[in-house]
Amino acid sequence: MKRKPIYIFITLIFIVLSTWMLSCSDEENEDGLSEQVKVSLRDVGHQLLLTNQDSTSLILPVIEIDNSKYKLSFQSQLSFEPGDLVDIVKSSFKKVNLPNNYRVEVIQCSDKEVAYSYEVNNSEEKSIIPCAGRFLPNNCYTIEVKFNNITTSFNSNKTLLYFLIFIGFSLLIFLFNKRKQTNTATNDNSTYASIGSFQFYPEQNKLVKAAVEISLSKKECELLEIFVANPNQVIKRDELMKKVWEDNGVFVGRSLDTYISKLRKKLQEDTSIKLTNVHGVGYKLELNH
């Protein structure tokens, strides 16, 4: 296998793996974070009940009610000081290294009104924690936590993976273009033989002189190949006929002379080249350097 196909294959594998990693990373991060939040909120609920000297009431299942938004509910009524809630949430979240950018709302079960709320940001100056010293009366409450910009870390990973995928695609396109250009260059610069001021391209059946192409027939090309391989040497008629016509059916006696005549006309623009007839023997390509 050539190097270029190997590079292309490796690039494709890289792109596929990067895409797979991207999808798996998102799922794992989101699922992992959701479970961590639920565990932390249950711990928050437990600590709040303990501040009420309640070690028997149940903490209801923590529910993810929206994207990055969770609800903590209790079996019994409770009362607490908001400052305790702030400290408990902060401590519980810190244990599992949850994002430090969230909003907490204490909602009354009866009318769904917000009894207390606060917001924490990465920057303490932007955190808003009001009325921390006022007790909330004994009541049925739910606590909702909404993480702000929780996808930032995910997006940073996504950005990196997208960048790697972009690099992979760019590399793939580069290799394809380079290969195409190489193939074009190979076709344009196929092996040629110099005949005076002409360039002879046997594989393309043509002569080139000063960027002007002169087409050759198959027989003309075969004959010229023989002469080019044996410059300034007499090639016998029998040898020419055998090499060019032996496997091509019936040979007409004057065909060789006809094709030699055509070659002379196509080479006549360069006076340093002569295709001469050696009487009774054959022909010779004379090159005067």
pLDDT in tens, 120-137: 988 777 788 886 668 899
Domains and their CATH numbers in the chain: 3-153 (no CATH), 193-287 (1.10.10.10)
- The three-class DSSP label of residue 272 is coil
**pLDDT for res 210:** 85
The residue length of the chain stands at: 289
Residues of the chain with pLDDT under 50: 1-2, 27-28, 152-154, 185-186
Pairing type for strands 198-201 and 282-287 reads unpaired
Q: Tell me the DSSP string of 49-98.
A: HHHTT-SSSPBPPPEEEETTEEEEEBSS-EEE-HHHHHHHHHHHHHHTT-
Amino acid letter for position 264: R
pLDDT digits (tens, 9 = 90+) for 122-179: 877 778 888 666 889 999 999 999 998 765 444 555 666 667 677 766 776 776 666 6
Q: Are 69 and 145 in contact (CB under 8 A)?
A: yes
Could you give the CA distance from residue 151 to residue 157 in angstroms, rounded to a whole number?
Answer: 10
